[in-house]
A and B are shown apart, each in its own frame.
Chain A
């Protein structure tokens, strides 16, 4: 598993490919599940959504928990991050890579 060494993993620009690594993403974290953020991926150079996620506190090392999922499918999801809660659509949550809390 690739561990991001840079302090802000969000600044990297990795090609978005899943499956080749055992990285879990926030959009697939089950309801009630806890995890720690590993990195926030940018989908494009200077991805404004990734930047905003960072400003809202989605940064490597923070603990997240999925507290609710939308009534239709799993979209959007409600996530608790410290003392704040955010509703995210799948596309947004899919940028947040996780390592499961031990």
Chain B
């Protein structure tokens, strides 16, 4: 350590990668090293998150660090682990082999992590071992002879505590030294488990056998067959209360803020096409994007905190059997539940599902969970067509119909998931989920995580949503109606013409041309369909009054069959461009999006067709 190292090649930064088991504290170490100097993207062609960052050592050496996905072994069983294996072996298509690995192991879980470390030792790359969570190990009464272990392993070991800057200083200092030589590989045929046992016996004094008493005690409550589900239910209740209730005022505030902003900024502009483009196209589009943000951030604050604390895998444990009914695992529960607020945060939350097939199926059925944007449409149609009866003395018929719409959607989701997972049923679907020790979530990691989600959503999804909104605006505005023409302007536009053409397709399910036309702007957001119906019926009311005025009009102009058919359509229809955009972003595959749209469209059409004809038969309307 007496050598004062100088940056060897100041021109090109040293390229290292963090490797380690899941739950070794790798991500918080990465956050501590790089702070906000990190980029989050996906590896080309796969839905695996790629995190890269830069930092500078005390002697001024610039280091480029890749945070590889957590892995239990280089003998990979998932796309995440494929990436880690390929990068470590230098076989990755787009990623160069790092010059050195920083192997992160947790002092509290040496038996598991040392075995993977021995695999990394065979790679022929220089390795520095970051021995993380030494503070916690000491609290559990664990004594580790780091110097002895270092000599035995033939790899430099630096103790780190990734919770604060001072805790990662030893690693920063080690990175200022010249690269260590690659360790000598273990002789072939040596059983790594035996070697780990020998290492532990030689270098670790472990009076309590490494038992984490606190985790044991908490698990007795959180995994209790009765209390466990009760606590989970309470957590979920509070969580979704905040996602719905706390987000709502923020969303309303943002919504009115944006429209006020639009009014002030666009006031100098004369009424006309430019004004309309900016107000109804660009600003309305940006509005739909930004309005999602509070919900996404609140939901992710919960998910990140639950994940970091170690509770999320326990929730997955408790819910596994339930989700197995749909051919999924417990991990899919929270993304699907979130989709009842909105499919967009739900689909983004599917990132917490490690199994790629489960993740894809969860994303594909998320739009079937009835999101809150469908409620205005449901309320309007139920109010207009379902009588205000009471059933069995206590239940309102209208409420029962609403409940039925939710129930049908959930059952359809379960069936769809079963069908999609059926092909691989013969192959066993393992759970094999690690239940890490409970720990307090790190504020810095939470803030960084939230920041990344926000940036990713606004930049990647936002741009798609705004451009599609402008496109829809153009379709609904051009060509302009001739001067003094009767009826609604939209009727003369391209969207209006398409709507009339669409009748060929939609007449069999009872949609009139007004519905068809309103479906087009409704693509921007489902609830927009209500205001565009008002526009088509030339009510002219754009805001809250629209629904009230529409209600009596619809109940006289539409048949009950048409109304129910539209309700059935809304249960399934993939008509939310933002959902499709986020699906595109999260799966990285346009084919998946097209397939999702096609299957949802097919289901919607079938359900509406059946509903229309059955209702006609029952009500006796020809």
Contact (Cβ within 8 A) B225 A73: no
Contact (Cβ within 8 A) A88 B211: no
Instruction: Determine if B212 is an interface residue (Cβ-Cβ < 8 Å).
Output: yes
Inside 8 A of B431's CB, which chain A residues have their CB?
Answer: 76, 87-89, 92
Inside 8 A of B209's CB, which chain A residues have their CB?
Answer: 82-83
In whole angstroms, how far apart are the Cα atoms of A88 and B191 in the complex? 25
In whole angstroms, how far apart are the Cα atoms of A80 and B112 in the complex? 12
Contact (Cβ within 8 A) A52 B77: yes
Option from A51, A53, A71, A85 in Cβ contact (under 8 Å) with B434: A85
Contact (Cβ within 8 A) A53 B77: no
Contact (Cβ within 8 A) B317 A87: yes
Given known pairs A86-B432, A87-B435, the reply for A55 and B320 (CB within 8 Å) is: no
Contact (Cβ within 8 A) B111 A83: yes
Contact (Cβ within 8 A) B428 A71: no
Residue of B nearest to A51 (CB): B75
Instruction: Determine if A91 is an interface residue (Cβ-Cβ < 8 Å).
Output: yes
Instruction: Determine if B194 is an interface residue (Cβ-Cβ < 8 Å).
Output: yes
Instruction: Determine if B332 is an interface residue (Cβ-Cβ < 8 Å).
Output: no
Residue of A nearest to B230 (CB): A71
Instruction: Determine if B433 is an interface residue (Cβ-Cβ < 8 Å).
Output: yes
Contact (Cβ within 8 A) A87 B316: yes
Question: In whole Å, how far is A28's beta carbon from the nearest beta carbon of chain B?
Answer: 17
Question: In whole Å, how far is B188's beta carbon from the nearest beta carbon of chain A?
Answer: 15
In whole angstroms, how far apart are the Cα atoms of A72 and B433 in the complex? 18
Given known pairs A86-B434, A88-B432, the reply for A78 and B219 (CB within 8 Å) is: yes
Question: In whole Å, how far is B214's beta carbon from the nearest beta carbon of chain A?
Answer: 13
Instruction: Determine if B302 is an interface residue (Cβ-Cβ < 8 Å).
Output: no
Option from B109, B111, B223, B434 in Cβ contact (under 8 Å) with A68: B223
In whole angstroms, how far apart are the Cα atoms of A91 and B4 in the complex? 56
Question: In whole Å, how far is A7's beta carbon from the nearest beta carbon of chain B?
Answer: 6
Count the B residues whose beta carbon is within 8 Å of the partner chain — how many? 44
Q: Could you tell me which residues of chain A, from 3 to 58, have a CB within 8 Å of some CB in chain B?
A: 7-8, 43, 48-49, 51-57
Per-residue interface assignment for chain B, residues 291 to 330, with 1 indicating a CB less than 8 Å from any chain A CB and 0 otherwise: 0000000000000000000000100111011101000000
Given known pairs A86-B433, A92-B431, the reply for A68 and B219 (CB within 8 Å) is: yes
Q: Could you tell me which residues of chain B, from 54 to 87, have a CB within 8 Å of some CB in chain A?
A: 72-73, 75, 77
Given known pairs A75-B320, A92-B431, the reply for A67 and B219 (CB within 8 Å) is: yes
Instruction: Determine if B91 is an interface residue (Cβ-Cβ < 8 Å).
Output: no
Inside 8 A of A53's CB, which chain B residues have their CB?
Answer: 432
Instruction: Determine if B376 is an interface residue (Cβ-Cβ < 8 Å).
Output: no
Contact (Cβ within 8 A) B428 A83: no
Contact (Cβ within 8 A) A70 B317: yes
Contact (Cβ within 8 A) A87 B320: yes
Instruction: Determine if B216 is an interface residue (Cβ-Cβ < 8 Å).
Output: yes
Given known pairs A52-B77, A78-B219, A87-B435, the reply for A71 and B111 (CB within 8 Å) is: no
Question: In whole Å, how far is B141's beta carbon from the nearest beta carbon of chain A?
Answer: 12
In whole angstroms, how far apart are the Cα atoms of A14 and B493 in the complex? 72
Question: In whole Å, how far is A42's beta carbon from the nearest beta carbon of chain B?
Answer: 12
Question: In whole Å, how far is A67's beta carbon from the nearest beta carbon of chain B?
Answer: 6
Inside 8 A of B428's CB, which chain A residues have their CB?
Answer: 43, 49, 91
Contact (Cβ within 8 A) A70 B432: no
In the complex, the 9 A-B pairs of residues with the closest C-beta atoms, listed nearest first: A68-B223, A83-B210, A85-B435, A87-B433, A72-B321, A55-B73, A87-B317, A89-B431, A82-B111
Q: 15 A-B contacts, Cβ less than 8 Å apart?
A: A7-B191, A8-B191, A55-B72, A55-B116, A56-B72, A56-B112, A56-B432, A57-B115, A70-B321, A71-B318, A75-B321, A78-B435, A83-B111, A85-B435, A92-B430
A51-B75, A52-B73 are known contacts; what are 7 more A-B pairs with Cβ within 8 Å?
A49-B432, A52-B430, A53-B432, A78-B435, A83-B210, A87-B317, A87-B320
